[in-house]
């Protein structure tokens, strides 16, 4: 029997499902059909002989084997992409790379894709969905052309687009007022939402214990739906499915969407993108869906 081969394309789809929080968002980010992404994951299950994802209604959860393969997939993709970069492999028409916060993927990806294709015709568009700090780091490192991210609202914050509410969530049956330290679910570092959650609870004198750390949105949502603790999340479009608000916890600051461009991005693209953000309910608290 031949040795199993883990192809790059299915691995990229698997990681996108975890990063984007589902098959639909992954398909949007990768410019594929949802069926194609599902087939990629199924191909990995056939090759490995493992069940990688399980469905509970419309909710997709990674199995223990799936979480293990995700760790290895990220290592393989990082090595592959770094090799391509070091070898200076370029196409005649390089893609536009957009990094955007994963929390606003449903809202941001369709309109960004449309704007970039209208204003920069003939250029393919690749998306990276990350936490805001990683989006900013990617721009600082010259890895992306456009960066859309969130930052906590302050007195000098320029809100280019919707103001994003930040709220506490837990599973439907979770007793957030039980005795003992509050169990807290967070993203791993670096993450501005993690820092905000810890700061808000500390300032309010709420005793807490971090019980789950996850590298991506899928892991955080899975832990919260399992009733392991509470989580602070930006809310874009609608509340996360299977979770409820925890209104008695101390309120966190809202966030504002921000955009940055690489120096070589045409001014027409910059102007159109900023205008679209400004038209998207400026100055209002948006529910932009996780």
Q: Report all structural domains of the chain as residue ranges with CATH numbers, in order of start.
A: 8-86 (1.10.10.10), 96-157+255-286 (3.40.190.10), 163-245 (3.40.190.10)
Q: How far apart are CA 243 and CA 257, in angstroms?
A: 24
Helices in 49-104 by DSSP H: which ranges?
A: 64-86
CA distance 205 to 5: 52
Q: Which two tokens stand for residue 39?
A: 């087939």
Residue 150 β-bridge partners: 257
Give the tens place of pLDDT for each residue, 32-77: 788 888 999 999 999 999 999 887 666 678 888 988 998 898 888 8
The structure's pTM equals 0.59
Q: Is 31 left (phi over 0), alpha (psi -120 to 50) or beta?
A: left
Q: What is the pLDDT of residues 171-228, one digit of tens each?
A: 988 876 677 899 999 988 877 788 889 999 999 999 999 999 987 777 888 899 999 9
Sign, CA torsion 42/46/48/54: positive
Spatial neighbors of 67 by CB under 8 A, at least 6 apart, are 219
């Amino acid at each position: 029997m031949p040795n199993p081969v883990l192809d790059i394309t299915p691995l990229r789809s698997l990681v996108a499902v975890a990063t984007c929080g589902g098959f639909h968002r992954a398909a949007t980010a990768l410019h594929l059909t949802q069926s194609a992404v599902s087939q990629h994951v199924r191909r990995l299950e056939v090759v490995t002989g493992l069940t990688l994802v399980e469905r509970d209604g419309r909710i997709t959860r990674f199995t223990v084997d799936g979480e293990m393969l995700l760790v290895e997939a990220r290592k393989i993709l990082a090595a592959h992409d770094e090799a391509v970069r070091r070898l200076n492999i370029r196409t005649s028409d390089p893609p536009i790379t957009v990094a955007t916060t994963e929390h606003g993927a449903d809202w941001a990806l369709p309109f960004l894709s449309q704007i970039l294709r209208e204003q920069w015709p003939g250029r393919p568009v690749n998306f990276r969905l990350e936490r805001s700090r990683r989006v900013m780091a990617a721009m600082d490192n010259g890895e992306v052309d456009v960066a859309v991210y969130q930052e906590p609202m302050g007195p000098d914050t320029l809100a280019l687009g919707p103001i994003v509410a930040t709220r506490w969530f837990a599973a439907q049956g979770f007793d957030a007022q039980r005795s003992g330290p509050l169990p807290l679910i967070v993203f791993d570092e670096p993450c501005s939402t993690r820092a905000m959650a810890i700061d808000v609870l500390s300032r309010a004198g709420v005793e807490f214990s971090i019980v789950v750390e996850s590298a991506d949105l899928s892991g955080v949502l899975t832990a919260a739906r399992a009733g392991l603790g509470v989580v602070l999340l930006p809310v874009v479009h609608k509340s996360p499915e299977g979770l409820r608000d925890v209104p008695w916890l101390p309120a966190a600051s809202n966030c504002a969407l921000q955009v940055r461009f690489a120096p070589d991005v045409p001014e027409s693209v910059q102007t159109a993108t900023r205008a679209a953000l400004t038209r998207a309910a400026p100055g209002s608290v948006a529910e932009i869906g996780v």
